[in-house]
Structure 1
């Protein structure tokens, strides 16, 4: 299991934009599974939405990308580099993510050619799919 310090050693994100709390499974360059414990105290809930707090879908996509980046940047030749977004395809938002949810974030690297690759990403809460997407990344 990777905690915050180990994650910060792999990806450049920091609070308040580090959106994963731990990585439970890691196969460098293949896949990673991490978690985000969503609390009422997240900054974005003040405005999204005050009467009905919902985690913005774009931040769930970002959390999925961060988990994918942990996997791809754990490969020896990618250590110290940054993974950038190249595209987001087929994103589907299937349920709300709200305070108290434990968001499971999984990203499997399904294709890579040189510095460009694609990850299949799924976010779930209690086994129910919240978001699916195909994420394109570029290693810089």
Structure 2
């Protein structure tokens, strides 16, 4: 976990090749003191990191982002509105490269859509 105590995994399931992971964001994390004190916003790069860590959990490998071909931030993730975030992803391995497609949702609002590839760290 890149940011210690930033989130915890509440549940994680696989259904028809899709992974659904519910995480609880720590709304009191130090990150929000600077981003932003009066209106906390989860940085987009942190949302992207959640998917990398999900791919690492699923593959049981340390990974490095190789490409992020399609990343769309669609709504602000404010931990004061909802501390839970749902990550839905599909992960396919081809020639040692992991390809991930995913969405992050807060309540029923899509916050992020991502298509990325990761390579194992030697």
**Per the shorter chain, which TM-score range?**
0.7 to 0.9
Conserved in 2, the CA contact under 8 Å of 1:118 and 1:136? yes
1:41 pairs with 2:28: yes
RMSD, matched Cα: 2.2
Question: Does 2:63 match 1:83?
Answer: yes
**Residue 57 (structure 2) pairs with residue 70 (structure 1):** yes
TM-score, length basis structure 1: 0.73
Q: Deviations over 1:66-99 (max 9, x none)?
A: 11222222xxxxxxx3122112121111111112
Identify the match of residue 56 of structure 1 among 5, 25, 43. Answer: 43
Which runs of 5 or more structure 2 residues have no equivalent in the other structure?
Answer: none
- 2:87/2:102 contact within 8 Å kept: yes
Q: Which whole-Å CA distance do the structure 2 matches of 1:125 and 1:57 have between them? A: 14
Structure with greater proportional helix content: 1
Distance across 1 between alignment mates of 2:67 and 2:5: 19
Q: For 1:1-140, list aligned pairs within 5 A.
A: 13=1, 16=4, 19-26=7-14, 30-73=17-60, 81-100=61-80, 101=82, 102-109=84-91, 111-140=92-121
Aligned residues: 118
Q: Are the structure 2 counterparts of residues 104 and 55 from structure 1 closer, same or farther at C-alpha, using a change threshold of 3 Å?
A: same
Deviation at 1:53?
A: 0.8
Instruction: For 2:95 and 2:5, locate their aligned partners in 1 and report how far apart those are by CA, in whole Å.
Output: 27
Give the structure with the higher percent strand.
2
What CA distance in whole angstroms lies between the structure 2 residues aligned with 1:72 and 1:99? 28
- With over 3 angstroms needed to count, the CA separation of the structure-2 counterparts of 1:19 and 1:138, relative to structure 1, is farther
SS of residue in 2 equivalent to 1:21: strand
The alignment's TM-score, normalised by the length of structure 2, stands at 0.82
